[in-house]
Amino acid sequence: MAYLFTSESVSEGHPDKVADQISDALLDNFLAFDPDSKVACETLVTTGQVVLAGEVKSNTYLDVQTIARDVINTIGYTKGEYQFSGESCGVISLIHEQSQDINQGVDRAKKEEQGAGDQGMMFGYATKETHNYMPLALDISHKILQVLADLRREGNEISYLRPDAKAQVTIEYSDENVPQRIDTIVVSTQHDDFNNDDALMLAKIKKDIIKILIPRVVAQLPKHIQSLFNSDIQYHINPTGKFVIGGPHGDTGLTGRKIIVDTYGGKGAHGGGAFSGKDPSKVDRSAAYASRHIAKNLVAAGVANEILVQVSYAIGVVEPTSIFVDTYGTAQVDLNDGEIAEKVASIFDMRPFAIEERLKLRNPIYLESAAYGHMGKEPKVITKTFESPYNGKIEKEVELFTWEKLDFVDKVKQEFSLQ
């Protein structure tokens, strides 16, 4: 029987994502000036206020207020009428030193013997559904909001947009788990006050989303995905009506509240740990990236059409306590899931320090991951500039989204005797 599946995304101006981006900007600055920094930064944003808290062990000192303001301004909160802007908001820092009780379980004389920064389980997922091995509903939801942000910044075709927005896509699947059509698209976008009839305002916003935004999104998709869009799609555009009050003024934002948006949109599984603001010694982040790296390379190599990888750790312990694989019955090799997991353990070193080294995670690469998903983006090399009144100015060339690289496909094929 055919079924429907839904995923959502939120924009960079969503209050929780504002908090995530501030936390990851702080992390990047700590790592830029001291790559050995241990960081767990949390951010709260609300009307006119930013609160920074958390634990840090680092040899550098930062102007955290300026970093937070720069992120807020870059997102687009620059006007007084938003009741939250980078120039005028208050920024309170309650960041303090990391607990020595935790640190003694992580740092070791030999770096390769570094223990996990926490206990827990982490998941990675990949599917052949899209070119980037991500679930389709989530991929389209991200694209809708990225295009919406482009239109907001351009300010030509749609001039009334404000930074806060959400999107949701529902797809109909066949019995064979193949996407058949787009059933429903929901877009809620913050906007300027039109100062006129609300019905006319809603009609204009709906028309602009359907006639301007959606065609741009469709144009970015491959032909076989474009064919899923048709005239029967149900659109719910700003279904609650007026959306002038938004962002941190409309809803308090906290780091780590969008973990499903950050990962697979409800497909696969999630261990519960958030990513943003955490340095890679925290396996909540690094092992989730490593598990995605494994799953993506396995699917790309042809081991299965869909794969979930779970890894688990005990705090302070070097080796993972378990590695689990679920191919959902789509395996293309003559092995059961337990045997596949054994091969995975032999191919990928999942000790925390090995993950950091393999994926180059001790670099300032995290701000770019903090909006529109941590998974599914194209790996690339960029140069980032960091400036501090305490540390001066430095430029660093870094590689983003290393966990998305298909650099283990040949090794996986060899291990699984695939052509």
> Binding site for Mg(2+): what residues are annotated?
16
Q: How far apart are CA 410 and CA 300, in angstroms?
A: 10
Q: How far apart are CA 293 and CA 311, in angstroms?
A: 12
Query: Which residues contribute to the annotated binding site for ATP?
Result: 14, 164-166, 242-243, 251, 257-258, 274, 278
Q: CA nearest 16: which of 126, 147, 163?
A: 163
Written as six digits, the tokens of 150 are 């482009």
Q: How far apart are CA 9 and CA 139, in angstroms?
A: 9
Q: How far apart are CA 130 and CA 306, in angstroms?
A: 11
CA atoms within 13 A on the CB side of 245: 7
Is the backbone of residue 277 left (phi > 0), alpha (psi -120 to 50) or beta?
Answer: left
Q: How far apart are CA 43 and CA 47, in angstroms?
A: 14
Amino acid at residue number 216: R
CB atoms within 10 A of CB 272: 12
Query: Which residues contribute to the annotated binding site?
Result: 14, 16, 42, 55, 98, 164-166, 242-243, 251, 257-258, 274, 278, 282
Q: How far apart are CA 298 and CA 188, in angstroms?
A: 36
Query: Which residues contribute to the annotated binding site for L-methionine?
Result: 55, 98, 251, 282
Give alpha helix (H) positions in 12-112. Answer: 15-33, 64-75, 100-106
Query: Which residues contribute to the annotated binding site for K(+)?
Result: 42
Farthest-apart Cα atoms in the chain, separation = 68
How distant, in Å, are the alpha carbons of 15, 113, 284, 287 from that of 163?
A: 10, 44, 29, 32
